[in-house]
Amino acid sequence: MSSSPLLTSDRGAVRTITVNRPDKLNALNAQTLDALLEAFEAAAADPAVRCVVLTGAGPKAFVAGADIAEMNGLTPVQGRDFSLRGQKLMRRIEKMPKPVIGMINGFALGGGLELAMGCHLRIAADSAKLGQPEVNLGLIPGFGGTQRLLRLAGRAATLELCLVGAPIDAQRARELGIVNRVVPAAELEAETAKLAEQLAASAPLALRGVLDCVAVGGECGIEEGLEYETAQFGLMFATDDMREGTAAFLERRKPAFAGT
């Protein structure tokens, strides 16, 4: 049996999942997609994990794309199945009940950018390159790239990135709303860890409420979204964390959230 294509480590309540195929620039093959899905399912179910960081091994790539060598021999039906496999993973990440930060340390191309866009927040090194170059292979994005890029960056940027297929730098990606922050490469790990620790110390149920509301609101009309937000807001008043947070504010101290 081949070894796992992932590395997983915990630091406090933060779990880091690393795609570990640096010799292949962390390209996504079927085994890696399945391993990632399993890893995120495990993180979702583990009460000790409050935040997840996703990154790639080595100095060159977050994930440079799907594994072209594996795709080259696929039939149309197998290609569709491969797309569904990738989309299932991206949807799992997008619907995680805990914040997921994509730490983009290098190339995030094709399936790699699609993987990053499934994360809730993205921090990129200033040296990173991002793009959807599938058209150069006679393909289109298959893991949700056209849809999530459209929602993040708008129609014009999506068409340019997907039709031209040329990568953009991290600063341009930030201007388009594809990444949240750009930091010097040497500071990427420290800045990501700082944000992850901040999120891990926040109220887990409130974080989940925000994630749920944004997920629902992004796929429905404003009235339905507002109704869902109101329902979630009301539910927060049944939590110990809401009592702790408001009491800590009134008492001018730091809250200690238990996730109940």
CB 98 within 8 A of CB 121: no
Q: Within 10 A of 216 (CB to CB), how many other CB atoms are there?
A: 15
Q: What token pair was written down for 205?
A: 């149920």
Q: Which two three-digit tokens encode residue 17? A: 């999942």
> Cβ(145)–Cβ(123) under 8 Å?
no
Q: Are strands 51-56 and 100-104 parallel, antiparallel or unpaired?
A: parallel
Distance between CA atoms of residues 226 and 184, nearest Å? 38
Q: From the candidates 38, 114, 223, 244, which is the catalytic residue?
A: 114
d(CA 245, CA 241): 6
**Cα gap 88→33, rounded to integer Å:** 9
- Which candidate in 38, 134, 189, 191 is catalytic? 134
What is the spatial distance between Cα 150 and Cα 144, in angstroms, rounded to a whole number?
A: 10
Whole-angstrom Cα distance, residue 203 to residue 256? 8
Do residues 53 and 12 touch, judged by C-beta distance below 8 A? no
Give catalytic status of residue 134 as yes or no.
yes
Residue that is written with structure tokens 């404003």 in the block? 222
Q: Please confirm, yes or no, whether 187 is among the known catalytic residues.
A: no
Q: Where would I find the H helices in 99-175? A: 111-118, 145-153, 155-164, 170-175
Active site residues: 114, 134
